[in-house]
Amino acid sequence: MLESWRWFGPQDPVTLSHARQAGAHGVVTALHHIYDGRVWTPDDIAERMALVKKAGMVWSVCESIPVNSAIKLRNANWRRYVDAWKESLANLGKGGVPVVCYNFMPVVDWTRTNLLFPTAAGGLALRFDMVDFAAYDLFVLKRRAAEESYASDIVETARRRFEAMGEAEILTLETNIIAGLPGGEDSHTRETIRGQIASYDDLSFDDMRANLVEFLREVVPVAAENGVRLAIHPDDPPFSLFGLPRVVSQADDIRTILGAVNDPANGITLCAGSYGSREGNDVVGLASDFAEHIHFAHLRNVTKEPDGSFIESEHLGGDVNMVSLISVLRREERRRLAAGRSDAVIPMRPDHGHLLIDDQEKVVNPGYSCIGRLKGLAELRGVIAALDQFHAEGSLTK
């Protein structure tokens, strides 16, 4: 597997030198400063590529070209944004970027309610608390018909929790949910998010899925023509937020995506933490079922709770059997190599490491500090080495 590292560009406090010292060879980055639907020009891409090469690394994955809401809504402006997206995609391929990860989440990107949740070991983790989210949706945002989105016991628990919150707690919660997290393109205020949510009022789950299919029919041929593998990222978390339709959350969604355009360029990002956050998703089973379509892997872990809450766990802890998952991915890589495929090596990256040691005193992007990801990458590397020895020798004790 190609050990990679997410980097948010020259302003990222975790540098490419740090990534290289952590043992990464691939860089997962994007032109995050160009997020408003403008075309990423060849010069823009070449400038970023030069920085990566200068660090002695390769730009393994672009994560992500923003998919404008006009495309998801398929409104009057969708053609302009689709055409710009396709041009950026073509320019990335011509510029030497082999994989483009993207998502189709409406209004909010990956969402957490607590960015500094204490772990038993003393680290700080990302957490999604369903009751806190409901409290914000119901009693701060006061979204119309919000109560229909939650079980009655969640509503009552959320009411009590909201009543116990001070203004500072409410502001922190709101900032965590809607102010934008690393890699997301949208940052909202309370008023703007109300308007964005309302724009989806007449869009059903089936409508959203149909709009995704139309988007794929537009962009997959461009990817194939320019040597790019598309890898759609699952919804995070993989269930409805704010009553909005989320259509990349489980196996049936993957089958729809792959069936929409039957082309090797049309594939998925296997994000273990995202798929693992939904009750009923068997992440190892998903990886096995759709192995030949996996173009990119996010190897992180979560521990779920009965009400839909979850915490980002240690990379080798949590509900996802990471050893079994990596075994599936390595088996797929060997199959591709035997078939002579050019994409035999799957880029992967550790994701959402805990905030550890003196990183707790630094200003870092939530989930993207250095030490936590370094630790995670080292653990994953060890699993890969052990599995490879077992495969080669038939035993770990020889």
Residue 265 CB burial class (10 angstroms; 0-12, 13-18, ≥19):
buried
Could you say which of 81, 150, 186, 233 is catalytic? 233
What 3-state DSSP class applies to 12? coil
Tokens of 102: 């993207």
Contact 158, 7 (CB under 8 A): no
Mean pLDDT rounded to a whole number for the chain: 95
151-155, 201-205, 247-251, 394-398: least confidently modelled range: 394-398
Which of the four pLDDT bands, split at 50, 70 and 90, describes residue 395? Answer: low
d(CA 206, CA 222): 25
Position 181 pLDDT exceeds 80: no
Judge whether 351 counts as a catalytic residue.
yes
Question: Which residues pair with residue 237 across a beta bridge?
Answer: none
Whole-angstrom CA distances from 395 to 130, 283, 388, 398 are 44, 26, 10, 6
Position 398 pLDDT exceeds 50: no
Judge whether 136 counts as a catalytic residue.
no
Position 110 pLDDT exceeds 60: yes
Where are any strands of DSSP class E within the chain?
Answer: 2-6, 26-29, 58-63, 99-102, 114-118, 124-128, 229-232, 266-271, 294-299, 302-304, 310-312, 347-350
d(CA 94, CA 97): 8
Position 183 pLDDT exceeds 80: no
Judge whether 307 counts as a catalytic residue.
no
Terminal Cα-to-Cα distance of the chain (whole angstroms): 24
Which of the four pLDDT bands, split at 50, 70 and 90, describes residue 180? Answer: low
Could you say which of 44, 271, 275, 293 is catalytic? 271
Could you say which of 102, 351, 359, 370 is catalytic? 351
180-189 b/e (C-beta count within 10 Å ≥ 16 → b): ebbbbbbebe
Residue that the structure tokens 């490879």 belong to: 388
Position 397 pLDDT exceeds 90: no
Tokens of 129: 């608390």
Percent of the chain with pLDDT over 90: 93
Percent of the chain with pLDDT over 70: 97
Judge whether 352 counts as a catalytic residue.
yes
Nearest CA among 286, 304, 284 for reference residue 248: 286
Q: In what order do the strands lie in the sheet with 302-304?
A: 114-118, 124-128, 310-312, 302-304
What are 26-51's pLDDT values in tens digits? Answer: 999 999 999 888 999 999 999 999 99
- The residues, ordered by sequence, that sit 6+ positions from 333 with a Cβ below 8 Å of its Cβ are 1, 344, 345, 346
Tokens of 363: 């200003």
β-pair type (58-63, 99-102): parallel
Could you say which of 352, 354, 359, 370 is catalytic? 352
Could you say which of 32, 293, 295, 298 is catalytic? 298
Position 95 pLDDT exceeds 50: yes
Output Rg (C-alpha) for the chain, integer angstroms.
20
- pLDDT, mean of residues 264-273: 98
Which of the four pLDDT bands, split at 50, 70 and 90, describes residue 246? Answer: very high
Torsions phi, psi of 379, nearest 5? -65, -45
- pLDDT, mean of residues 15-19: 98
Which of the four pLDDT bands, split at 50, 70 and 90, describes residue 179? Answer: confident
Which of the four pLDDT bands, split at 50, 70 and 90, describes residue 102? Answer: very high
- pLDDT, mean of residues 169-190: 83
Could you say which of 150, 315, 368, 370 is catalytic? 368
Q: What is the DSSP letter of 150?
A: S
d(CA 253, CA 278): 13
pLDDT of residue 393: 86
Q: H or E stretch including 380?
A: helix 370-393
pLDDT of residue 126: 97
β-pair type (2-6, 347-350): parallel
- pLDDT, mean of residues 72-91: 97
The residue type of 66 is: P
Judge whether 233 counts as a catalytic residue.
yes
Judge whether 391 counts as a catalytic residue.
no
d(CA 222, CA 98): 13
Whole-angstrom CA distances from 222 to 60, 80, 97, 256, 347 are 19, 16, 14, 20, 21
Position 301 pLDDT exceeds 70: yes
- pLDDT, mean of residues 261-286: 97
Show the domains of the chain with their CATH numbers. 2-111+197-393 (3.20.20.150)
- The residues, ordered by sequence, that sit 6+ positions from 339 with a Cβ below 8 Å of its Cβ are none
d(CA 371, CA 354): 8
Residue 291 vs residue 184, higher pLDDT: 291
DSSP track, 310-378: EEE--TTSSSS-HHHHHHHHHHHHHHHHHTT-TT-SPEEEE-S--B-GGGGGS---TT--HHHHHHHHH
